[in-house]
Chains A and B, each alone.
Chain A
Amino acid sequence: MMASLRQSDRSNTQGAQVKKAFIHLEPSGLPDHPADRVSAFLTAFEAILEYGNYRFLLDLYARITSRCGRCASACQVYQATGNEKDVPCYRTTLLLDIYRRHFSPGGLLGSLSAKNGKLTAAAIDEMVELFYRCTTCRRCTLECPLGVDHGLITHLGRYILSEAGIAPKGLIVSVREQLEGKTANTSAIPLPALLDNLEFLQDELLEMKGAAVTFPVDRAGAEYIFFPAVSDYLMEADTLMGNAVVLHAAGISWTIGSQYYDGINYGLFYNDWVLERVISRLVGEAQRLKAAKILVGECGHASRSAKHYVPAFSQNNALPVVSVLELTWQLIQAKRIQLDPTAVPERVTYHDPCNMARSGWIVEQPRRILGSFVKDFVEMTPNGARNYCCGGGGGLVSLDETHEFRMRVSGKTKAEQIRRTGADIVATPCANCKKQLRELVEYYQLPVQVVGVHDLVLRAIQI
């Protein structure tokens, strides 16, 4: 019955040729005619080059790339498929060829002779698929001898596509609600529901820990304003209780903003305008409540987007951005919270979210947090800045239609890594990774539980 349902959906919608692709596209923005798609793509590319900062990067990459293919050895997607189209520099070359031919000085002649870079609707369809088969984990960047950031090219490719009207429906629907909807968040949680959830969590903490831990809302002048992935308010009760109990035990002043409470920024996955608008909502709420710092919950892309782009999009005096992992580790070091070393007897491993670990920003802190109370800690190999992606990065985990791909292709290496540790628990501080890893655990029947770092802190903290 479901098969016939999907069939009828495809035949009923516009742009059927693209619609059958790897991801479900938002149909309203999709140019129907192939020639219009080409023209829309080139117009968008031109505008982004004119008004953005990407030209110097493309100039550089267009000169230096050699397609040596060393990136292939780093990519878990290529490792799983063996398909040359999944090699990071193959994908990057698609965009660079278009840039050379259409936008680089004197590039037209050279491209004509090489017969490369002529943009067709079929080439756009190929880019749609390949840019969304990449999880933007940027592991290949570590291997490229010339330092090409293939993840950034994927980001740019998706940005151009989205400005040409081609973007995943799963992301657009959420962003529309976040920026224009009544609830102002990607999971469409109305404020009364948020408050009901917070009251419920407070009751749970009282029952569990015997302490009156509060989730403060709209407390003006707090040191930290807290932005988790808003989906945590539906899915990750233990993580949020862990966050709150740490802040409570250490006597930190913090608040949640009632007008804006979502750390998620899908702009990082596909569109710089969205990225900037979401950041301005975040900063606006922090300013409304006169908070001194932005505290980001357990979420890889939310952490990276706030850490990098709050300064980038603030004129002056950008608010400092702190991850809950940084703060909790500081509080442990300062002995402001106490953790019971017998509370977690199971074997625990840690999965690094790419958006936190690839740059080296958050690698040591979570390990030291866990190391301070978990007796049996075991690493995956490789790990830290060289970790493998969970397979759901770059927004893929929010696109249900990619499930099969995430299980059989992009998440395969991670599932094998987890199995080899023999761990009972995988801790990871990212809403995206948690969802993907839970699906992998189910798919590969791995005997492990997937939790957040603060879920374990919650079990161990003494108050």
Chain B
Amino acid sequence: MPVVELKGIKVEVDEDGFIQEPDSWSEELAAAIALTEEVETLTEDHWKVIHYLRDYYQQFGIAPMIRKLCKDTGFQLKYIYELFPSGPAKGACKIAGLPKPTGCV
């Protein structure tokens, strides 16, 4: 797997830019990955989604159901797409350091 340097942090990623070790995630890294996902600045609402995704992942080992993400953050799906243009399953999960989703996701 290739190693990329994002804002001075060296990290191993797959061909789509998902980090390989969820434990190597940090908020600084999230901000650096965000730049590759058309997210210039991480606002409070971005962090709310990111932290929710990470907490859920740490408890269950997978991203939450999209509808659950919307319900628990109080954000509509449309707004989550505004926050993360490539969507919750790809962009938001990538920034939150989750593995690349597999199957028909």
Chain A residues close to B by CB (< 8 Å):
1-2, 4-6, 8-9, 12, 24, 170, 173-174, 177, 185-190, 192-193, 196-197, 200, 204, 229-231, 233-235, 237-238, 262, 264, 299, 397-398, 400-401, 431-432, 435
Q: Which residues of B contact A (CB under 8 A)?
A: 1-2, 4, 6, 13, 15-17, 35-36, 60-68, 71, 89-90, 99, 101-105
Minimal beta-carbon separation of B88 from chain A (angstroms)? 10
Which chain A positions have C-beta within 8 A of B2?
Answer: 5, 8-9, 12
Decide: A233 near B101, CB < 8 A? Known: A8-B4, A12-B2: no
Q: Find chain B residues with CB under 8 A from A401 CB.
A: 15
> Would A398 and B104 count as touching, CB distance under 8 A?
yes
Assess whether A190 is in contact with B61, with CB atoms less than 8 Å apart.
yes
User: Which residues of B sit under 8 angstroms from A299, Cβ to Cβ?
Assistant: 104
| Assembly CA distance A186 to B102 (angstroms) | 6
Residues of chain A contacted by B89 (CB below 8 angstroms): 234-235
13 further interface pairs, Cβ-Cβ under 8 Å (given A1-B4, A235-B89): A2-B17, A24-B15, A187-B62, A187-B105, A188-B99, A189-B62, A197-B65, A200-B65, A200-B71, A234-B65, A237-B65, A264-B104, A397-B104
Residues of chain A lying within 8 A (CB to CB) of residue B61: 188, 190, 192-193
Question: Across the interface, which residues of B come within 8 angstroms of A185, CB to CB?
Answer: 103
Q: A5-B13, A200-B68 are in contact. Are A230 and B103 (CB under 8 A)?
A: yes
In Å, the complex CA distance between A186 and B71 comes to 25
Closest chain-A Cβ to B3's Cβ sits at a distance in Å of: 8
Chain B residues in 8 Å Cβ range of A204: 67, 71
Within 8 Å CB of B35, what residues of A?
A: 1
With a cutoff of 8 Å between Cβ atoms, the chain B residues found around residue A233 in the complex are 65
Cβ 8 A contact of B36, one of A2, A192, A197: A2
CB of B6, distance to nearest CB on chain A (Å) = 7
**What residues of chain B lie closer than 8 Å to A12, measured between beta carbons?**
2
Cα(A234)–Cα(B99), bound, Å: 15
> Which residues does chain A contribute within 8 Å of B1, judged by CB atoms?
9
Specify the chain A residue showing the minimal Cβ separation from B103.
Answer: A186
Q: Helix, strand, loop or mixed for chain B's interface?
A: loop
- Is B17 a contact partner of A5 (Cβ separation < 8 A)? yes
Q: A2-B36, A5-B4, A24-B15 are in contact. Are A196 and B103 (CB under 8 A)?
A: no
Name the residue among A6, A8, A24, A235 with the largest chain B CB count within 10 angstroms: A235
Residue from the list B4, B60, B90 in contact with A190, Cβ < 8 A? B60
A8 closest partner in B (C-beta):
B2
Q: Which residue of B lies closest to A173 (CB)?
A: B102
Most buried by B among A233, A234, A397: A234
For A9, give its contact among B15, B68, B71, B105 (CB under 8 Å): B15
* In the complex, chain B residues whose CB is within 8 Å of the CB of A196: 60
Question: Which chain A positions have C-beta within 8 A of B36?
Answer: 1-2, 5
Q: Say whether, besides A8-B2, A186-B104, A235-B105, A193 and B60 are in contact (CB < 8 Å).
A: yes
Give A231 to B66 CA distance when docked, in angstroms: 11
How far, in angstroms, from A174 to B99 measured CA to CA in the complex? 13
Contact: B102 with A174, CB < 8 Å?
yes
List the A residue with the shortest CB-CB distance to B105: A231
Nearest-Cβ distance from residue A138 to partner chain B, whole angstroms? 20
Report how far A353 CA is from B87 CA in the complex, Å: 24
Which chain B residue shows the least CB distance to A5?
Answer: B4
- 17 A–B contacts from the bound complex (CB under 8 Å): A1-B36, A4-B4, A5-B36, A12-B2, A185-B103, A187-B101, A187-B103, A190-B60, A200-B67, A229-B104, A233-B65, A234-B64, A234-B65, A237-B66, A237-B68, A264-B104, A431-B104
Closest to A178 in B: B103
Is B104 a contact of A188 with CB atoms below 8 Å? Answer: no
Contact A193 B62, beta carbon cutoff 8 Å = yes
- The answer on a CB contact under 8 Å between A177 and B4 is no
Query: In the complex, which residues of chain B have a beta carbon less than 8 angstroms from the beta carbon of A238?
Result: 67
> Which of A24, A234, A432, A435 is B66 in contact with, Cβ under 8 Å?
A234
A261 to chain B, nearest CB (A): 12
Which residues from A are CB-within-8-Å of B103? Answer: 174, 185-188, 229-231, 262, 264, 398
CB distance from A235 to the nearest CB of B (A): 6
The CA of A238 and the CA of B70, in the complex, are separated in Å by 13
Shortest Cβ gap from A73 to chain B (Å): 30
Q: How far is the CA of A2 from the CA of B60 in the complex (A)?
A: 29
Closest 9 CB pairs of A and B: A186-B103, A237-B67, A187-B103, A193-B60, A231-B104, A174-B102, A8-B2, A431-B104, A174-B103
**Residues of A contacting B15 in the complex (Cβ-Cβ under 8 angstroms):** 5-6, 9, 24, 401
Contact B102 A177 (CB under 8 A): yes
- A397, B101: Cα distance in complex, Å: 13
